[in-house]
Amino acid sequence: MTYLVEMDGIEKRFPGVHALKSVSFDLKPGEVHALMGENGAGKSTLIKIMAGIYRNDGGEMRVDGNPVAPASPREAQNLGIGVIHQELALMNDLTAAQNIFIGREPRNRLGLLDERKLNADAAAIFKMMNLDLDPRAQVGSLTIAKQQMVEIAKALSFRSRALIMDEPTAALNDAEVAELFEIIRGLKADGVGIIYISHKMDELKRISDRVTVMRDGEYVGTVDANATPINQIIAMMVGREVTEEPVVPPDLSAAEVALEVEGLSRAGEIFDVSFSVKKGEILGFAGLMGAGRTEVSRAVFGADPKDGGTIKVHGKLVNIKTPTDAVRAGIGYLSEDRKHFGLATPMNVRDNVVMATLSQYVTSLGILKDAEMRKVARGYIDQLGIRTPSEMQEVRLLSGGNQQKVVIAKWLLRDCDILIFDEPTRGIDIGAKSEIYKLLETLAAEGKTIIVISSELPEIMRLSHRIAVMCEGRLTGILPGGAGTTQEDIMRLATDRAPAMQPMGEHA
C-alpha cells in the first residue's frame, strides 16, 4: 500500500522550545486519520509543516513516496494537501463561488471576470460533494456549517487528495455535524485522505479509522479507532488513566434560594425561562448549540437586554439592566470566550484580578495602591493554585486553565456569590479540566451558587446537582443530577422542539 503522505522523524525547534521530537505520521488514501493530543502536544506544528507554513528542522516528508518540502501553502496545495483551518478564512461579503476561486477567477476573452463559469465550476464541486448550496449565496449569510462546506469545496478545487481538518465541529450543532460527516464519508469513498483533529472523543468512534496520539511534542502511538477504548486513548494523551465518577448531589433542602429567575424572555431567542438555584448548588445547563443557554445567562447578567422577566437575588427583586447592576447584586459571569469577554490578555495577572474591584484599591488622593493589589493577587495565586511565575505575568502567556482561574479570582475578589460559568473548560486540557471541576465543587461547598453551561454532556453529568435542559430558547425540563440521570434523558429534552416550530424544519 502506498501512502499519500508520510512524515518520518520530523523535528522542529522554536527558540527555547523543542516542539516536535522525531514525530512520525502517515495517511492512506480514503481513510480518516485522527490526530489527538492536548493543547501544546504539537499537533498544529506538525500540521503546519505539512501545509507548508513551517519548515521542519529534521526528518523527511514524502508525498506518494517522493521526498518533498513544501515551502509555502501554495506549494503544499500543488502537492494536493489542503487545510480547513479552525478559524475559517472566508470573505463574508463575497459569494460562495467567489470565495472558492479567489485569486484564480476565470476570465473571458476580454480579460473580464467570467462570473458564469465561476458559478458553474463551483456548482460542479458542490455536486461532487453532494452538497445543496447556491454558488451565488453570500458567505456571511450562511450558517457556520455551510461556511465550512465552502472551505472544503475550496480545498477540493485545488484537487486536494489530502485534507487536514482542524477541529471542524467546534462550532457545529449535532445535525450539522452529521451533515459534515456525510460529506467526509463521500470524500473517503473518492479516495481522499483526511487528517482529522478534534478534542471530542465521541466523534473519533463515529468518523475515524485510525488514531495517532501526540504528547509534549512526541509521537505516542497509532491505534485502530474502532478496536481501542476511549479511556485508553485518553490515557495515551494525558499519560495516565482519567476516571470520572458520577456526582453525588448534596442535600440542599434547607438551603436558601440564592437566585430566582422568572419568565425571562427576549423576542426570538428566550421564551419564558424560569428557574432557581440554591446556595451551595451547582445547576448545569445542557442543550445543543444555539439552544439559548448563553443568551439566558447574558440576559440574567445584564450583558444583553431582556424583554420580560424578573430576577430575585437572595429573595430580593433586583433590576438588572447592565453588567454593573448584576455585579452589584453579586452575580459574576465567566464567558466561554475568555480572550474576548473575560480577560484583558495583554495585561498582567494582578490587573486582571482587580479589574472588577479597582476602585477599592485607591488612596484618598485617587492613586492606585499597587503593592496591596499585588498582595491580593498573590493570595489568589496561592488559593486557586494559579500556575504563573508571578502576579506581574501577562495573562496571555498563561495556559487556558490558569486563565480561567484568573477570571474566577476576579469574581471572588468582587464578592460575587453567584457565579455563571459558560463552558468553563473550553480550550482547557483534559488534565487541567478535573482541576477546574474540583475548584467549582469547592466553591459550591463553601456556599457559592454555581451555574454551569456546557455543551459536553460528560461535563454536565460530572458537575451538576441539578440539570436544566434547553431547546430552541425554551427551558424544556430540569432533571436531578447524579447517577440516576442518563445522557439519553438529557438528549430527549434537548431535542424537545415546540410543536409550533416543527413545520419550519420540514420546509427546507
Partner 1 sequence: MSLATDQKPAAPATSTVGGAVAYQRLLAFASLVALLIGFSFASSNFMQTSNMMAILQSASVNGVLAVAATLVIITGGIDLSVGTLMTFCAVIAGVILTKMGLPLMVGVIGAIGAGALCGLCSGTFVTKMNIPPFIATLGMMLMLKGLSLIISGTRPIYFNDTPGFDQISRGSIIGDIIPALPVPNGVLILFLVAAAASFVLSRTVLGRYIFALGSNEEAVRLSGVNTDRWKMAIYALAGAICGIAGILIASRLNSAQPALGQGYELEAIAAVVIGGTSLAGGRGTILGTLIGALIMAVLTNGLRVMAVAQEWQTVVTGAIIILAVYADMIRQKK
In angstroms, what is the minimal distance from the CB of 343 to partner 1? Answer: 6
261 belongs to the binding site for partner 1 (CB under 8 A): no
344 belongs to the binding site for partner 1 (CB under 8 A): yes
In angstroms, what is the minimal distance from the CB of 362 to partner 1? Answer: 6
Find the binding residues for partner 1 in span 263-282 (CB under 8 A). Answer: none
How many positions of this chain bind partner 1 (CB under 8 A)?
41
Nearer to partner 1, 145 or 409 (CB): 409
In angstroms, what is the minimal distance from the CB of 376 to partner 1? Answer: 13
C-alpha cell at 188: 473517503
17 belongs to the binding site for partner 1 (CB under 8 A): no
Pick from 33, 48, 161, 414 the residue near partner 1 by CB under 8 A.
414
Nearer to partner 1, 57 or 394 (CB): 394
In angstroms, what is the minimal distance from the CB of 422 to partner 1? Answer: 11
Find the binding residues for partner 1 in span 351-410 (CB under 8 A). Answer: 351, 355-356, 358-359, 362, 366-368, 370, 378, 381-382, 389-390, 392-394, 397, 410
In angstroms, what is the minimal distance from the CB of 67 to partner 1? Answer: 30
In angstroms, what is the minimal distance from the CB of 91 to partner 1? Answer: 22
Nearer to partner 1, 232 or 345 (CB): 345
343 belongs to the binding site for partner 1 (CB under 8 A): yes
- Cβ–Cβ under 8 Å, residues 271 and 290: no
Q: Would strands 210-215 and 218-224 be described as parallel, antiparallel, or unpaired?
A: antiparallel
Find the binding residues for partner 1 in span 181-210 (CB under 8 A). Answer: none
Q: Which of 61, 72, 74 is nearest to 5 (CA)?
A: 61
Return d(Cα 419, Cα 428) in angstroms, integer.
19
Write down the H helix ranges in 91-215. 96-100, 115-128, 144-157, 174-189, 201-207
In angstroms, what is the minimal distance from the CB of 156 to partner 1? Answer: 32
Nearer to partner 1, 422 or 472 (CB): 422
Q: Which of 407, 400, 405 is nearest to 386 (CA)?
A: 405
Residues in a beta bridge with 480: 466
Pick from 85, 341, 495, 497 the residue near partner 1 by CB under 8 A.
341
In angstroms, what is the minimal distance from the CB of 289 to partner 1? Answer: 21
- Cβ–Cβ under 8 Å, residues 122 and 100: yes
Q: Would strands 58-63 and 474-480 be described as parallel, antiparallel, or unpaired?
A: unpaired
> Which residues have a Cβ under 8 Å from the Cβ of 327 and sit 6 or more positions away?
356, 414, 416
Nearer to partner 1, 382 or 506 (CB): 382
Pick from 91, 128, 267, 347 the residue near partner 1 by CB under 8 A.
347
Nearer to partner 1, 79 or 259 (CB): 259
Helix axes 430-445, 400-413, angle to 10 degrees: 20
Nearer to partner 1, 338 or 433 (CB): 338
Return d(Cα 186, Cα 195) in angstroms, integer.
15
Dihedral over Cα of 41, 235, 173, 400: its sign = negative
Per-residue x/- mask for partner 1, residues 301 to 340, rule CB under 8 A? x-x------------------xxx-xxx----x-x---xx
Nearer to partner 1, 236 or 398 (CB): 398
In angstroms, what is the minimal distance from the CB of 239 to partner 1? Answer: 23
In angstroms, what is the minimal distance from the CB of 139 to partner 1? Answer: 25
Q: Residue 127's CB: how many other CB atoms inside 10 A?
A: 11
9-33 b/e with 16+ CB inside 10 Å = b? ebbbeeeeeebbbebebbbbbbbbb
In angstroms, what is the minimal distance from the CB of 349 to partner 1? Answer: 10
Nearer to partner 1, 314 or 328 (CB): 328
92 belongs to the binding site for partner 1 (CB under 8 A): no
Q: Residue 367's CB: how many other CB atoms inside 10 A?
A: 9
Nearer to partner 1, 366 or 505 (CB): 366
CA dihedral 423, 425, 428, 430 (to 10 degrees): -140
Return d(Cα 464, Cα 461) in angstroms, integer.
6
In angstroms, what is the minimal distance from the CB of 357 to partner 1? Answer: 9
Q: Which of 72, 211, 96 is nearest to 150 (CA)?
A: 96
- Dihedrals φ, ψ of 215, to 5°? -150, 130
For residue 378, which amino acid is it? R
- Cβ–Cβ under 8 Å, residues 2 and 30: no
Binding site for partner 1 (CB under 8 A): 301, 303, 322-324, 326-328, 333, 335, 339-348, 351, 355-356, 358-359, 362, 366-368, 370, 378, 381-382, 389-390, 392-394, 397, 410, 414
